[in-house]
């Protein structure tokens, strides 16, 4: 029986365990990345481990989220990250260099390597043939300290591609189609692997768009083969020595297969307020547009922006539309400036934003109240744009640029094809934004820590009896944005958990923090896919700080579940989902003989308020059980 590409790479990195779906394994991690929204906490945790140099082949600290400096807080965080990076042998990417995933693809991604990143869109690296996994910050800190990562072996879902894309249809439409078919829960517990003759028609930037937004499927990661397209991309970045060909065996067996005929696809859009709420642009119709935002780690490549420049050349952005564009890297912006495309973009009436995440994470460019905003981003959760009643649609760069000119949602089908763009033009080497840790170590490089940086909360060992009052009852698809909002108000405080605690669940229930403080020990009850979205572990650390003992839900998103366990918070799943309706706000829930029950298949939860009990599962692997018993991952490591 032939092997999938995903399992070939995992097998080559296997340190412990058997490579079978559902098993717990430990793999070697070759590379890590962090960004500054999660990075400060990562490096506080790394410092707590008392390590000298990182054990990975390469680790990079990127600054791309908190680049809006309206006070000292963000600059202090950047200085802290830079100092810790230099102490431990980590490369530091300065603000303005670009978005971590685009930069890593350009400068450091290597086919066949493993990459762990403290950002949910780390799977972008799968576009170049890596096993690139998004994880919580503590997992990334441990990977830097030990060079290893423990996970549950996913199944492999094969997406067989045939045909090739028609004009005005792009890679964004491919992943929107897959989301439409599989939903935001369809990839949970799976690696999505692309294969088939249609793969060769997609460039590396195309593939990176698809693997990037595969995070919205809930997948562990997504991966493409490494082939002639990969070689050309690496050659264009002056990194041809990193190329190796990689693919699945011809007789590889997949756990599931989804077939996609690329030639049958049309321009698509994800309607408010979910990435899987997908419909054809032609069916949505010419709705009036107020704002268009092009960029993000999904669609800020050189190819994407050259297409945008070609559409805007000689045209004028509609008077009623605000068009903002964020290039993915300093290399891309420099190339656009050199070849004249930047002038075409500016002359159309577009605004050029910094090479950063920016509006995608709610850091500026919030649309007006009630606005329709077309964005080439990866998420359109309600309120994520910074405007609660905005209607955000996710579209391709081609659809976005054309709509910005027309003033209404418009597809290009039937129009003259865009000029051919060479996706593999040569990019001169430039590392002027990279700070190398040469000659630095823990003995000669002190940590710079500003007053906004506070210690991260630590849990205690699991007691015999866990008693908690339900301080929040939530619906399905609660996002980490819902749990811990991320916008221009709060991003400067990512290193200050006490400050953030006042805003936990503020869009869902503003009374949540006060109830937590009132009752001491508390519990959260949620629906399906609890904790989807960003990898930010603040969505676990802030509830821990507020005294949350466990979360009881119908199902969990992968990264958030791991973050809860890392923090020593028990993630419980209803054995009977109907029990969700029986629990009310401020019910007192108790787990007796908690350490013993954690080791068993079922955990009985007693509702003392209503004098009834419920069967739940934690579905913990052996290492996860040890973490829960110890009160979190760091406590477990110190015990060991």
Q: Give catalytic residues, as residue numbers.
A: 64-65, 119, 379, 534, 536
Q: Of 141, 103, 96, which Cα lies nearest the Cα of 358?
A: 96
Tell how many helices (H) and how many strands (E) occur in the chain: 21, 27
Do residues 616 and 605 make contact, with C-beta atoms less than 8 angstroms apart?
yes
DSSP string, 418-449: PPP--TT-------TTEE--TT--TTT-PPP-
User: In whole angstroms, what is the distance from residue 181 CA to residue 191 CA?
Assistant: 16
Q: Which residue has the tokens 């060992």?
A: 461
Judged on CB neighbours under 10 Å (0-12, 13-18, 19+), 213 is buried
User: In whole angstroms, what is the distance from residue 502 CA to residue 516 CA?
Assistant: 11
User: In whole angstroms, what is the distance from residue 82 CA to residue 64 CA?
Assistant: 13
- CA torsion, points 128, 39, 143, 146, in degrees to nearest 10? 140
Secondary structure class of 504 (helix, strand, coil)? coil
Judged on CB neighbours under 10 Å (0-12, 13-18, 19+), 581 is exposed
Q: Which residue has the tokens 């359109």?
A: 380
Torsional sign, CA 537, 538, 543, 547 = positive
Residue 267 DSSP code = -
| Beta-ladder partners of 117 | 33, 134
DSSP string, 339-391: HTHHHHHHHTTPEEPPSSSGGGGTSS-PPPTT-EEEE-SS---TTTTS-TT-E
Q: Of 326, 335, 343, 315, which Cα lies nearest the Cα of 292?
A: 326
Contacts of 179 (CB under 8 A, 6+ apart): 186, 213, 216, 217, 270, 275, 276, 278
Q: What phi-psi label fits residue 79: left (phi over 0), alpha (psi between -120 and 50 degrees) or beta?
A: alpha
Secondary structure class of 23 (helix, strand, coil)? coil
For residue 618, give both structure tokens: 């934690």
User: In whole angstroms, what is the distance from residue 405 CA to residue 184 CA?
Assistant: 31
Pairing of strands 58-62, 31-35: parallel
């Amino acid at each position: 029986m032939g092997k999938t590409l995903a399992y070939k790479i995992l097998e080559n990195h296997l340190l412990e365990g058997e490579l079978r779906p559902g098993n717990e394994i430990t793999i070697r991690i070759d590379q890590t990345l962090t960004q500054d929204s999660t990075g400060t906490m990562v490096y506080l945790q790394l410092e707590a481990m008392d390590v000298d140099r990182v054990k990975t082949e390469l680790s990079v600290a990127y600054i791309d989220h908190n680049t809006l400096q309206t006070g000292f807080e963000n600059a202090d965080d950047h200085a802290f990250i830079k100092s810790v990076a230099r102490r431990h042998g980590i490369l530091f990417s300065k603000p303005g260099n670009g978005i971590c995933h685009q930069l890593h693809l350009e400068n450091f991604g290597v086919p066949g390597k493993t990459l762990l990143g403290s950002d949910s869109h780390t799977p972008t690296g799968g576009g170049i043939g890596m096993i690139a996994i998004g994880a919580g910050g503590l997992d990334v800190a441990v990977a830097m300290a030990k060079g290893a990562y423990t996970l549950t072996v996913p199944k492999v879902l094969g997406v067989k591609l045939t045909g090739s894309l028609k004009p005005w249809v792009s890679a964004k439409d491919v992943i929107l189609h897959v989301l439409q078919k599989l939903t935001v829960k369809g990839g949970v517990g799976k690696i999505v692997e692309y294969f088939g003759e249609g793969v060769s028609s997609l460039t590396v930037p195309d593939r990176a768009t698809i693997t990037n937004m595969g995070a919205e499927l809930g997948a562990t990661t997504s991966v493409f083969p490494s082939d002639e397209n990969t070689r050309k991309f690496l050659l264009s970045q002056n990194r041809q020595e990193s190329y190796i060909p990689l693919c699945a065996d011809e007789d590889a067996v997949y756990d599931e297969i989804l077939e996609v005929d690329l030639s049958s696809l049309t321009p698509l859009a994800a309607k408010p307020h979910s990435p899987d709420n997908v419909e054809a642009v032609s069916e949505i119709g010419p709705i009036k547009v107020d704002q268009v935002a092009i960029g993000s780690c999904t669609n800020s490549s050189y190819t994407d922006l050259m297409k945008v420049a070609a559409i805007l050349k000689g045209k004028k952005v509609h008077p009623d539309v605000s068009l903002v564009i964020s290039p993915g890297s300093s290399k891309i912006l420099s190339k656009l400036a050199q070849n004249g495309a930047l002038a075409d973009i500016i002359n159309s009436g577009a605004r050029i934003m910094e090479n950063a995440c920016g509006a995608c994470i709610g850091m500026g460019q919030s649309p007006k109240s009630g606005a329709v905003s077309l964005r080439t981003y990866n998420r359109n959760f309600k309120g994520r744009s910074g405007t609660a009643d905005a209607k955000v649609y996710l579209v391709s760069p081609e659809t976005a640029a054309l709509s910005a000119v027309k003033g209404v949602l418009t597809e290009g089908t039937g129009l003259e094809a865009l000029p051919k763009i060479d996706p593999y033009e040569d990019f001169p080497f430039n590392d002027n934004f990279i700070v190398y840790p040469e000659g630095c170590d823990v003995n000669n490089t002190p940590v710079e820590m500003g007053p906004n940086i506070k210690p991260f909360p630590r849990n205690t060992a699991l007691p015999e009896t866990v008693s908690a009052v339900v301080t929040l009852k939530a619906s399905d698809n609660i996002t980490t944005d819902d749990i811990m909002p991320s916008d221009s108000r709060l991003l400067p405080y990512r290193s200050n958990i006490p400050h953030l605690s006042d805003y936990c669940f503020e869009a869902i229930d503003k009374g949540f923090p006060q109830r937590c403080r009132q009752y001491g020990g508390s519990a959260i009850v949620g629906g399906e896919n609890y904790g989807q979205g960003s990898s930010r572990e603040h969505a676990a650390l802030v509830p821990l700080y507020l005294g949350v003992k466990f979360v009881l839900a119908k199902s969990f998103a992968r990264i958030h579940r791991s973050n809860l366990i890392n923090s020593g918070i028990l993630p419980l799943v209803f054995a009977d989902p109907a029990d969700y309706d029986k629990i009310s706000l401020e019910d007192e829930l108790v787990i007796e003989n908690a350490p013993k029950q954690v080791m068993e298949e079922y955990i009985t939860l007693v509702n003392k308020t209503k004098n009834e009990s419920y069967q739940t599962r934690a579905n913990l692997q052996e290492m996860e059980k040890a973490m829960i018993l110890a009160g979190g991952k760091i406590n477990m490591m110190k015990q060991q």
